[in-house]
Structure 1
């Protein structure tokens, strides 16, 4: 493993004391989940701070509570579920407000919990994009995961379907990417 503080494109990095290895697989869905399948719902606002690997997130729960966090994602470019390293810091509302004043690209989505996956239904220019994600504790769990039948295509290895790329995508680009997977969202 290579520990480095700069770019890690194509290299493995040592998680160190605070970061953890992020293992997830992502899948496209043709439509949002059926309401009867949903066990929990959150509204998520992500702010990708310009020129950084930092994401500022506000999660709004159905009970009106909110959670704020700052996340650093250090990606590695290699196939499979290991996406890189992730470090989360939970913030107070005042800390969030201060950081939210920095220039950022913004994504908004609704996350539905449908065990064993979370399903993100995007708003704004990404409307029509429905992504399911599953997270794993180890490589074997990731390899043996069988996605639900609603999953149309796996996009784990397609970097266009990561938050850092989606935040920069135009509507036209998104529709082209989805068409490559045979998806044509209504109201395009």
Structure 2
């Protein structure tokens, strides 16, 4: 039984002074959405700082505007839309540049806003992976959400499809995970072609 604060069976997930409860559901898509359905595009570089729960993010909008932030995610090990607690700190360029010198694993993607979803189209060794998420203010909203037809599988409870896991995954790992859901993206070949 879930209470209004996001608790389950008497265990509550409460926001802290700076943290907020993160509620989201994640879905696999067979491919990117039609360009005509996209309202905002951001190119995102996430740096998962080694040995921490911290993520340094640079998001660049089509007009060149940059959003720089440091995020801490404290996961909650239970099924459902409540992912845990999230705290964001917005940074200046100098602050970002200094923190970007720290050791990190890097993940690049393009985020397409296709209301009510944010759709991530991944680059690099994850090319071909398309993951959508919907965020919610309450547990009731999360439970009532009916995903659009382009969502082929829900992976909310599959930790392999979180940024922290994807950043360390190999191409073969992700191909195997997608195959378990019946997906084999054409843009994600098993091996890179050899240079001429």
Bigger-Rg structure (1/2):
2
Cα pair 1:12 1:76 within 8 Å, conserved: no
C-alpha displacement at 1:16, in angstroms? 1.5
Deviations 1:26-58 (A, max 9, x none): 000000000111111010000000100000000
Task: Name segments (4+ residues, structure 1) moved above 3 Å.
Answer: 11-14
Superposed, which structure 2 residues align to 1:16-165 within 5 Å? 16-165=16-165
User: What is the total number of aligned residue pairs between the two structures?
Assistant: 178
Deviations 1:122-153 (A, max 9, x none): 00011110001000000000000011100000
Cα pair 1:30 1:185 within 8 Å, conserved: yes
Q: Give the TM-score normalised by the residue count of structure 1.
A: 0.93
Q: Please, what is the CA RMSD of the aligned residues?
A: 0.9
Deviations 1:150-174 (A, max 9, x none): 0000000000000000000000000
Q: Give the TM-score normalised by the residue count of structure 2.
A: 0.89
Cα pair 2:13 2:21 within 8 Å, conserved: no
The 2-side partners of 1:130 and 1:137 are apart by: 24
> Structure 1 regions of 5+ residues with no counterpart?
1-10
The 1-side partners of 2:13 and 2:37 are apart by: 38
Judging changes above 3 Å, is the alpha-carbon distance between structure 1 residues 12 and 126 closer, same or farther for their aligned structure 2 residues?
Answer: farther
The 2-side partners of 1:111 and 1:51 are apart by: 26
